[in-house]
Structure 1
């Protein structure tokens, strides 16, 4: 429960969250994670980032559970220094968790996801060498270790090392994506340092309780570079979960999938007169949700128990973000993966019972 001041009749309000504004330069290389992009790794991309963040101070119980992380928005620009790839601009909300924090230093790790716009996507006629991405709009994931050292009470020098990833999740092809290991150097302006904090880190009432989820999703994907049609992909999921501690839910469930691109693939490859196998699939999964208030980072590992058409590995992974709009209704954006390769981006709605 929130702390009470001596002689008071109500809880003490959390201090105002101070603002931190940063401006950083970035230098990168392109990782040749597949031979299909090896011809694009000669350049060294450079860019800059405008960063807006607030230091949490205890307004919600989960702030104290994670030792008062920072919440921010990163606006990033990169020049690939390659006319085939062009430029990229991205916006990434993120959370930053401190490992060591003192009056003059802060060593932390941040993780964010958002949207990116690539100026020179693949085009079969005008830009066929860009095998990284065939759509202008892409998803981005940003992970980074950062060290901020106070030069003055309000000005900090920041150095960091991280990874920027851009991909459209196989919505269109080719889509091998790009990974940019990056060195970061810049300045932070701190409105107040150190930030005031009040600890209201009580245990939630849901710890130890069982719940049930039901959801459905849709996505779309391109089958191949030669087939420009977008095919719908749907799934339905039923799961049982349990809140095991302040930060975690564990889940297990069953789900069914219908990927219409597999039907088109069969029609191209099956001999006339032969019976085609069923393209529907069913799976079982176990999963974990890392909780940040209404927001959760989702990770699942599943195994197909019904898959007459063997179009992929026997297992699949899912990574995503889930948000509870109410105690019952939630939405999620997931990336479904087969052996490290993106299969489809799923947009999900569901209910918790």
Structure 2
């Protein structure tokens, strides 16, 4: 399963769209209109048969529709200029899988779209988004046991896309695109092999105003006050996971993290730290194979990590690579990865949603709270 999750839903949808995209380092520049773009696209693609357990489901080509609303960021926050004025959007997506097992799905996601090339009539951009998908017919042992793709109604969606928009009229644009869409629940329920759908897109964009004037950049806000400074992060997390489809019980997973970081430029923080994990599902896993009287190894784990935060005002996209130093019960490889979204509610208090991964397979979805010192 690819890096995914029911991960980024609450933070991405609630905080990313409403707060993170308007958050800023320093006072706002003068108000500049942020033109809107309304889009309607048709999609067609195929499902990647990435495992023998899903080959029986790859029998048709999904088709879909997308309705989205984008806002052209113009510099009200300093990071808009740092990323060369991307668009921020909300998309609603429907897929018909033309399959009696999968049937159809619905999704809502937020995204950023960054232009690589702009002219008076053309726009080539890359779009990355995340949100929540809804599958009305997930895996069910009695009613839908063939659906090994998804086992819960709510799933994360991750969307990556290359788009080309060419003007047909001053306000109407023809949109051509190629995309990869992923759905998964982050191992909170099993089976969870996830769906990967490459697609082609064709549609129309209505531009409220095709060209915009950036807001004047405040030189004081262009250099964040904490640039070059060190900081400490202290946090704790909790998550729930299911071992397999034969064990319907969910188990708590907890972790604590201590990290030191430094803001190295306008867009990035670097971190190193240590953390400990307690996964109660491993106790149940041990009991399945242990004999009476066996002395069972400790399931707690501890490790160190290096990490990076890509900053968008108060919102950050986290990536970590960790290595276990204390790992008596060898339930996985010696290393792990984390990806997540982090949002600073205040200067010192933050929340995050992380997906912990072992070799590309989701281990647990973690909800985190912490302080920055």
Q: TM-score, normalised by structure 2?
A: 0.91
The residue number in structure 2 matching 1:148 is 165
The residue number in structure 2 matching 1:82 is 99
Equivalent-residue separation in structure 2 for 1:134 and 1:95 (angstroms): 29
Selected match of 1:298 from 315, 318, 328: 318
Please give the root-mean-square deviation of Cα atoms over the aligned residues, in Å. 1.2
The residue number in structure 1 matching 2:18 is none
Equivalent-residue separation in structure 2 for 1:156 and 1:345 (angstroms): 39
Structure 2 regions of 5+ residues with no counterpart?
A: 1-26
The residue number in structure 1 matching 2:264 is 244
Q: Structure 1 residue 227 and structure 2 residue 247: aligned?
A: yes
Equivalent residues in 2 for 1:45-194, closer than 5 Å: 45-194=62-211
Equivalent-residue separation in structure 1 for 2:202 and 2:38 (angstroms): 14
- After TM superposition, give the deviation of residue 252 of structure 1 in Å: 0.5
Equivalent-residue separation in structure 2 for 1:28 and 1:311 (angstroms): 37
Equivalent-residue separation in structure 1 for 2:178 and 2:226 (angstroms): 37
Equivalent-residue separation in structure 2 for 1:267 and 1:142 (angstroms): 39
Could you tell me whether the CA contact under 8 Å between 1:64 and 1:199 is conserved in 2?
A: no
Could you tell me whether the CA contact under 8 Å between 1:218 and 1:347 is conserved in 2?
A: yes
- After TM superposition, give the deviation of residue 271 of structure 1 in Å: 1.0
Structure 1 regions of 5+ residues with no counterpart?
A: 1-9
Equivalent-residue separation in structure 2 for 1:19 and 1:196 (angstroms): 14
Q: TM-score, normalised by structure 1?
A: 0.96
Q: Secondary structure at the match of 2:140?
A: coil
* 4+ aligned runs moved over 3 Å, structure 1: none
Equivalent-residue separation in structure 2 for 1:269 and 1:14 (angstroms): 64
Equivalent-residue separation in structure 2 for 1:48 and 1:200 (angstroms): 38
- After TM superposition, give the deviation of residue 195 of structure 1 in Å: 1.7
Could you tell me whether the CA contact under 8 Å between 1:25 and 1:47 is conserved in 2?
A: yes
The residue number in structure 2 matching 1:284 is 304
Q: Structure 1 residue 41 and structure 2 residue 58: aligned?
A: yes
Equivalent-residue separation in structure 1 for 2:233 and 2:215 (angstroms): 34
The residue number in structure 2 matching 1:19 is 36
Could you tell me whether the CA contact under 8 Å between 1:60 and 1:200 is conserved in 2?
A: no
Q: Secondary structure at the match of 1:186?
A: strand
> Larger relative contact order (C-alpha < 8 A, sep ≥ 6)?
2
Equivalent residues in 2 for 1:241-280, closer than 5 Å: 241-280=261-300
Could you tell me whether the CA contact under 8 Å between 2:254 and 2:277 is conserved in 1?
A: yes
- CA deviations 1:83-128 (Å, max 9, x no partner) are 1011110010111111111211111111111101011100111111
Distance 1:231 1:12, change over 3 A: closer
Aligned length: 344
